Amino acid sequence: MAAKRGVDFLKTVAEYSAKCKSFDGVIHMVKITDGGDGRCVGEFTVETEHLNRKGSLHGGLTAAILDNITTYALMSKGSHPGVSTSLNVSYLAAAMPGDIVEVDANTVRAGRKLAYIECVLRRKSDGAVIATGGQTKFVDMHQDAKN
């Protein structure tokens, strides 16, 4: 496993992803505020382009944010970003335009083959939990040829 990485590393990864022309660029609005050693914390303001037809934060965007921020948390632990084997999100409250949402991801365990990361999204104004979730990732990307 590579060396542990801090908040500066996380900011660099997030800035790189934001510039991507791939789907990962969709979370360009999340600003990393803290992290390292298996944790990543960021925040963003809900804007019109983030909304579903009912006028609240779109669930698909919430899942994409959770996917990416948990991956950043895992990378700060020194792990390969791996590939998702399971991703789950529970939606608990709405976030509306102008709300600032805090995202806090934590690596629960990073083993040789699998990693487990959890995440909470909260409305900054009152601490209400908007969504919780996490993912399991396969991280053994450097298997030898006989496997």
| pLDDT score recorded for residue 146 | 47
Beta bridge partners of 134: 88, 118
**pLDDT at site 4:** 56
User: Which of 42, 46, 25, 61 has its CA nearest to residue 120?
Assistant: 42
pLDDT in tens, 64-82: 999 999 999 999 999 999 9
| % of the chain surpassing 90 pLDDT | 76
pTM to 2 decimals?
A: 0.89
Listed residue (119, 118, 105, 85) closest to 10, CA to CA: 105
* Span 88-111, average pLDDT: 98
18-22, 32-36, 98-102, 141-145: segment of lowest average pLDDT: 141-145
Q: Are the C-beta atoms of residues 62 and 91 closer than 8 Å to each other?
A: yes
Amino acid at 140: D
Amino acid residing at 68 = N
Give the sheet arrangement for strand 100-110, strand by strand.
31-36, 39-45, 100-110, 114-123, 129-138, 83-91
Beta-strand ranges (E) seen in 80-140 are 83-91, 100-110, 114-123, 129-138
* Domain ranges for the chain: 1-138
Residue, of 6 and 114, whose pLDDT is higher? 114
Pick the CATH number of 1-138 from 3.30.70.260, 3.40.1260.10, 3.10.129.10, 3.90.1150.60: 3.10.129.10
| Cβ pair 141, 115 in contact under 8 A | no
